[in-house]
Structure 1
Amino acid sequence: MSSKKRHQYSRWMTSTERKRQYNKIWARVSRAQKAAANKETISSIEMASIAESDSHNQLFEEENLCMFTDPALSSSESEQDTTTLREELSKWACMFQVKHNAVDALLNILKIHGHAELPHTARTLFGNENHYELTIKDGVKSVQFSVADQLSNHLSRYPAAVTDHLQSLDLSLNVDGLPLFKSSNLSLWPVLCSINLSPVCVFPLCLTTAASKPKTQDFVSDTVQELAELMQNGLTWEGKHLNIQLRCVTCDAPAKAMVKCVKQFSGYYGCDRCTQKGSWDGRVTYPDVDNLTLRTDQSFRECWQPEHHQEEKISPFSVLPIDMIKSFPIDYMHQSCLGVMKKLLLLWTRGRSEYRMSSGDVARVSNRLVTLKKTIPDCFARKPRGLQEVERWKATEFRQFALYTGKIVLKGALQGQLYEHFLCFSTALCILVSPELTKAQGPYASQLLQYFVEKGREIYGETFLVYNVHSLLHLSEDAQNFGCLDNCSAFKFESYLHQIKNMVRSGKNVLTQVANRLEETSKLKLTNKEKVVSLKGPNNVFVLSPEECCEVVSEGLENTMLCRVFTNLQPYLMTPCDSRLYGAYVASIRHSQMRCLDRKALERRAFMVEKHGGIRIVVSILHTL
């Protein structure tokens, strides 16, 4: 009987008829099994007799015998399904930071509806062990985690393909403060660590809460001491001996001064990279631009310039076998994006009349930014906002403006001299965030930044040369030492701090709350996100070479994509250099053709701004996503 006829027949029969047929078939099968048990063989005639049952009976025999052999009903598979459900619930609750009382309510509902094997509470579901200890010293509460245990636990989250041939671990540290509540001065000061593999894994080595900024560096001393032992002796993990090396310690300027036990950036000897003495002009400025005397590891450890160091204090990081100058890079997130870029925007919108934009130009730039929203791909955390909200912009928004959108929206709205001056800053950052460009054009970026600082004094006055602007003179050196600025920036740590803040539900037992949530999330496996080529804008634009770019139109055959390829790309800007150097082009629909491209060729992402007359502005995405 065909499958269609079987389906129709089973649909026509009532449940009573199906039950009657089932009993007849089961009786027939039982008699056949008894006969087989009494005789060693069954004659071919008897086998044929059983097989000659009508097709209707055969249908129900097949269906109902499958019911008894269905693997989903076996006890072992049932236990496996229950275990999988428990793991999936735990993973879901951790990923979305679901409150425990909500998880408890969900577990009770599931137990009522047949999942009696599930636990009653979220605490049991997650399997929290609470093996950490809370210490209180001088009013500062701390939770210290074992560095070796943390490294081992988080290494286990990586796929085997990443860790099979691992011989050494490259780590980065971060120390920063995190305000927790608007109605309280309570802040969290974690010591964060990142394992610089793919994907990067960030986790805390220490958690500290205080009513204000910690007055001493004691909260990092135990962590640094244990790290020093690991750097000397290595880490044993799953039978492997791994060498530990510290790439850098990334902090903003106040936190860096605190952990290094040196004067703050607002002091006369506040620069941690050179020995220049600042000048007072309503604020401390650094007028010297060239012929600077740079600090070295030896000069720092031997305190060649006592005015730079805090009296009778030694940095806890001095016990590590690292360069105390080069291992504390300038964080371009705080000092270039939140510092210099924000300062420029405030000068253009609220500064003195000689370099302030008119209200009409400010409105025009804001409208352009809002218009660009539809062209910004999803790899950016935030879409552009108008200049009226500039004080609420986040660091990623200032980076987006400095690297990509600023050169587009300011064109024709900002005075020519100011616009060209900004382009020097933007071009240098574009070079230094790209590993390829940093290696090839690092010295050129250094020249651009030196010119930017010198010209800034001429345009905006001596007060422009504050610490953040002065630090640009040392930025290129850090980018070349670490490969690019993103390899030594605080962006990944700031993103993790945001996750920690979401773990705090109330002001009671803050450290306990965070430690419990961290223990739960540490059990989630790490995976690299698959690169999916989108067919819809604005996520379908790619740069193929300095001469070609494309936008994906549709799926092709055999792992190919049908794309509209733009050729004969022209530079968008010629100041301070040909913008094709850092991936800013002008494309025309006239110089385009449809072509099938291999997916592997679509690696370098970009975004496209459509202008009138079929003209497109294409900008490569340079920073690490």
Structure 2
Amino acid sequence: MSSSARNEWKRCKRKVMNELLQDDDDTTLQTLSKRPAVASQLHFSSAADVRLSESDDHLLEFSSTTDSASSVCAAPSLASTLQSKCDNNERFDERFDFDSLADTFDFDHNDVDNPFPNEDLNNLRSLFEDDPKDTEDTALRSDLVVWALEHKIGRNALTDLLHILRAHNHPNLPLCSKTLLKTPRSTVKMFKTLGDGLFWYYGILVNLVPRLTEGFLEKLNGTSIAIDIFIDGVSPYKSVKKVLWPICASLAGSKDIFIIAMWCGRTKEPSDLSLFLEDFLSEAKELMLGFTHLGRNLKLVLRNIIADAPARTWLKNVNQHGSYYACERCTAVGQWIANRMTYHPHEETLPRTDESLRKQTDRRYHKGPTPLTELENFSLISQIPLEPMHLLNLGIMRRILTELLGTKRNNCRFKFSDLLKSVVDNMSEYIARFYPSDFARRPRKWSDYALFKATELRRILLYDGLLILKARGVSKKVYHNYLLLCCAIRILSDPLLVRDFADDAAVLLKKFVSDSVLVYGQKFNVYNVHHLVHLSEECKRHGDLELFSAYKYENHLGVLKRLLHAPGRTLSQIVCRLLEVVSNRPPNAEEVQHEVIVSRPYELPASLNHLGKGFNSLSIVKSKITLLCNSFFLSCEKEVVQISNIIKTDESFLLVGKKFKHQIDYFTRPLPSSCLDIYEVRKLGEREFFTVNQVLKKCVVVPIPTENHFPSSVSDGPCLAMSMLHGGD
């Protein structure tokens, strides 16, 4: 190609490129301007003014064997064709046909010295297209975020991993974990000083919006959004004097906990309750009047404020639990006996009311006004319930174990001897092997009672004690007194029984309180024991005990503590970790609950192989049935069944199992145990088939040991079958 023809070709090409780039939209131009490779080659002066200059000739240098005339004639035709495609708003790579352009001029790279010998017009096309590597890195980035948050990966470790990935052909990943997780640059402006600590308020509505999805609102009856509030203090460190006071919340019936506000300081609690609750009460009152979300008019309802006894007295600004006038439900007066405040078990007193708390009519009980009175249609009595986790398990059940197993200073006449303690420890370790996986903490030696968590104490109250406290050597008075408490709490913990038998539970609890004085002495009837007589009234208002217990909130406090890595900047650490989760929360995330899930397939016996596929595990809502110690359930006909096979057919699920032939009451007083789904069973029958719909509850089935015999399986003798009250303990 002659030099004149080549120059003419260059001028035509520049004209075509300018026309195309001038017509392109701002989005494409901004994308191009951000690509270093494009900017270095095309010399963009700005995203709004992109032109090819004379200095860009090296991008258009090609050799051709055609003469100048043909080149001059071809260029206008090509330009007009490309211009017509631009008018039709086609994609850039469709408008600019690089292949036809090369064919028209019939160029050859080898004929001309090219400063970029490895690039041609096809390389230009790649500059305007999405790089597949970008898409790959975007997916990898999302996976890394989920992985880092779920497994609590340290920020330094995550940064090191990002550097490694960048060095192995992932150039679009960030180099810092803060960029990846969208960590706030600074938290200073988020906090305000409150007393000797810092206070952070996040908000109610900002937490509700991502949870009030279209799916949630479709299932909502009415316009009320009910939430429960939890307020409590926690020490995040063992050796540093710092205290956290979070305001947590959850939608009614949900296990998803969110943080509304948090205070961190060195004192036992914030010095000014009004300032601590000011922002929360202000927003709550506004939302209780109504708000609009996704086109629906909604209003907030504060169902309950859940807190332990010290927190409740602080929030209501009344006497602490060690005072003479401390009962939250009646006007009973305490008696100072054996260095503790006790209550007479048969004293008849007047109940406290919401009106008396708002007007502070009992000056001996009230210490001053409380900001909670600003909430209209909110009862300071019924909507701040007695919290069962601290009252029953950490309070009463631990006190019973202390009386029976405690130190020499305890003068309980029924205290266990060293030999009996050894027997009880052996029995507890023996029954542990038969407990299903629903129990997060299985039975262990009772001699370690001082280390027991609330879930372990609840398990002893509802399950273990039925067998262990019946052991030879334990006083019958201790066992019968325990049965009063166990039966009452089983009624109040069962969503079905509590509806019809709450009054019967109240009778049992009053009997327990009066009899416990005879068993353990007057010093036993302290604040927690006295409040048992009011517990059934709480269940009449709110339902079973699980609905207003603090278990899920206390678990979340443990999650907050695990977010910390060092004592410094405690509140900043927690806030950054929480906001990282919020920033990376998937849109419209909802709690997914599958009705039936099977897992761990295995080969069925030949006699059952024709029915379908075999599985070792089947999950029904909150419970899991497996072919090991999880294999017992109570049928709708109130029969205890052991599962031997789980079969998935084309249409449904089949459970192959055996019922126990003999099923009787395990105890008859204070009421027949069958009323509480507790049985003594023995001898398995013939194989039968059951459907998933026949499963009423899971059961804990434990062989009943004797003094000299510990059966190894449920087929060796009589067993104790206890229906499970919770999806997981």
Matches within 5 A, 1:139-538: 139-155=196-212, 160-166=214-220, 167-197=223-253, 199-214=254-269, 215-217=271-273, 218-231=275-288, 233-281=289-337, 282-289=339-346, 291-311=348-368, 313-350=369-406, 351-412=410-471, 413-522=473-582, 523=585, 525-530=589-594, 531-532=596-597, 533=618, 534-538=625-629
Provide closer, same or farther for how the CA distance between residues 511 and 463 of structure 1 changes in structure 2, counting only shifts above 3 A: same
Contact 2:441/2:455 (<8 A) preserved: yes
Q: CA deviation at 1:258?
A: 0.3
Provide closer, same or farther for how the CA distance between residues 580 and 310 of structure 1 changes in structure 2, counting only shifts above 3 A: same
Contact 2:403/2:412 (<8 A) preserved: no
Q: Distance in 1 between matches of 2:540 and 2:637?
A: 23
SS at 2:635's partner residue?
strand
Q: CA deviation at 1:264?
A: 0.5
SS at 2:486's partner residue?
helix
Q: CA deviation at 1:556?
A: 2.1
Q: CA deviation at 1:426?
A: 0.9
> Partner residue of 2:656?
562
Q: CA deviation at 1:364?
A: 1.2
Q: What code does the residue aligned with 1:150 have? A: N
Q: What code does the residue aligned with 1:249 have? A: I
The answer to which of 81-90 and 264-273 deviates more is 81-90
Contact 1:235/1:243 (<8 A) preserved: yes
Task: Considering Cα pairs closer than 8 Å and 6+ residues apart, tell me whether 1 or 2 has the greater RCO.
Answer: 1
Q: What code does the residue aligned with 2:673 have? A: S
CA displacement 1:76-130 (0-9 Å, x = unmatched): 8765543332222211211121111111122222222232222222212122346
Contact 2:244/2:265 (<8 A) preserved: yes
Q: Distance in 1 between matches of 2:542 and 2:534?
A: 13
SS at 1:435's partner residue?
coil
Contact 2:191/2:200 (<8 A) preserved: yes
Alignment RMSD: 2.1
Please tell me whether residue 552 in structure 1 is matched to residue 552 in structure 2.
no
Please tell me whether residue 137 in structure 1 is matched to residue 187 in structure 2.
no
Q: CA deviation at 1:244?
A: 1.2
SS at 2:209's partner residue?
helix
Contact 2:644/2:657 (<8 A) preserved: yes
SS at 2:262's partner residue?
strand
Q: Rg: which structure is higher?
A: 2
> Partner residue of 1:57?
none
SS at 1:528's partner residue?
coil
The answer to which of 380-389 and 599-608 deviates more is 599-608
SS at 1:492's partner residue?
helix
Percent of aligned positions that are identical: 27
SS at 1:245's partner residue?
strand
Q: What code does the residue aligned with 1:424 have? A: L
Contact 1:318/1:324 (<8 A) preserved: no
Contact 2:290/2:299 (<8 A) preserved: yes
Q: Distance in 2 between matches of 1:535 and 1:576?
A: 34
> Partner residue of 1:62?
none
Q: Distance in 1 between matches of 2:191 and 2:453?
A: 33
> Partner residue of 1:31?
none
Please tell me whether residue 106 in structure 1 is matched to residue 161 in structure 2.
yes
Q: Distance in 2 between matches of 1:105 and 1:551?
A: 51
Q: CA deviation at 1:145?
A: 0.9
SS at 2:679's partner residue?
strand
Contact 1:95/1:521 (<8 A) preserved: no
Aligned residue pair count: 546
Q: What code does the residue aligned with 2:354 have? A: D
Q: Distance in 1 between matches of 2:696 and 2:637?
A: 14
Provide closer, same or farther for how the CA distance between residues 241 and 289 of structure 1 changes in structure 2, counting only shifts above 3 A: farther
Q: CA deviation at 1:497?
A: 0.4
Q: Which runs of 5+ in 1 are unaligned?
A: 1-36, 38-73
Q: What code does the residue aligned with 2:722 have? A: V
Q: State the TM-score, normalized to the length of structure 2.
A: 0.72
> Partner residue of 1:33?
none
Q: What code does the residue aligned with 2:192 have? A: T
SS at 2:565's partner residue?
coil
Q: CA deviation at 1:410?
A: 1.3
Q: CA deviation at 1:308?
A: 0.7
Q: Distance in 2 between matches of 1:353 and 1:284?
A: 18
Q: CA deviation at 1:557?
A: 4.5
Q: Distance in 2 between matches of 1:466 and 1:216?
A: 30
Provide closer, same or farther for how the CA distance between residues 502 and 453 of structure 1 changes in structure 2, counting only shifts above 3 A: same
Provide closer, same or farther for how the CA distance between residues 489 and 318 of structure 1 changes in structure 2, counting only shifts above 3 A: farther
Provide closer, same or farther for how the CA distance between residues 385 and 110 of structure 1 changes in structure 2, counting only shifts above 3 A: same
Contact 1:548/1:567 (<8 A) preserved: no
Q: State the TM-score, normalized to the length of structure 1.
A: 0.83
Contact 1:278/1:284 (<8 A) preserved: yes
Contact 2:412/2:521 (<8 A) preserved: no
Please tell me whether residue 87 in structure 1 is matched to residue 142 in structure 2.
yes
Q: What code does the residue aligned with 1:164 have? A: E
Provide closer, same or farther for how the CA distance between residues 364 and 397 of structure 1 changes in structure 2, counting only shifts above 3 A: same
Q: What code does the residue aligned with 2:655 have? A: M
Q: CA deviation at 1:291?
A: 3.0
Contact 2:656/2:689 (<8 A) preserved: yes
Contact 1:187/1:212 (<8 A) preserved: yes
CA displacement 1:1-37 (0-9 Å, x = unmatched): xxxxxxxxxxxxxxxxxxxxxxxxxxxxxxxxxxxx9
Q: Distance in 1 between matches of 2:382 and 2:208?
A: 24
Provide closer, same or farther for how the CA distance between residues 597 and 82 of structure 1 changes in structure 2, counting only shifts above 3 A: farther
Q: CA deviation at 1:475?
A: 0.6
Please tell me whether residue 587 in structure 1 is matched to residue 681 in structure 2.
yes
The answer to which of 346-355 and 250-259 deviates more is 346-355
Contact 2:405/2:447 (<8 A) preserved: no
Contact 1:607/1:620 (<8 A) preserved: yes
Please tell me whether residue 607 in structure 1 is matched to residue 700 in structure 2.
yes
Contact 1:608/1:617 (<8 A) preserved: yes
Q: Distance in 1 between matches of 2:346 and 2:303?
A: 28
Contact 2:425/2:444 (<8 A) preserved: yes
Q: Distance in 2 between matches of 1:178 and 1:302?
A: 31
Q: Which runs of 5+ in 2 are unaligned?
A: 1-99, 101-128, 598-617, 619-624, 705-710
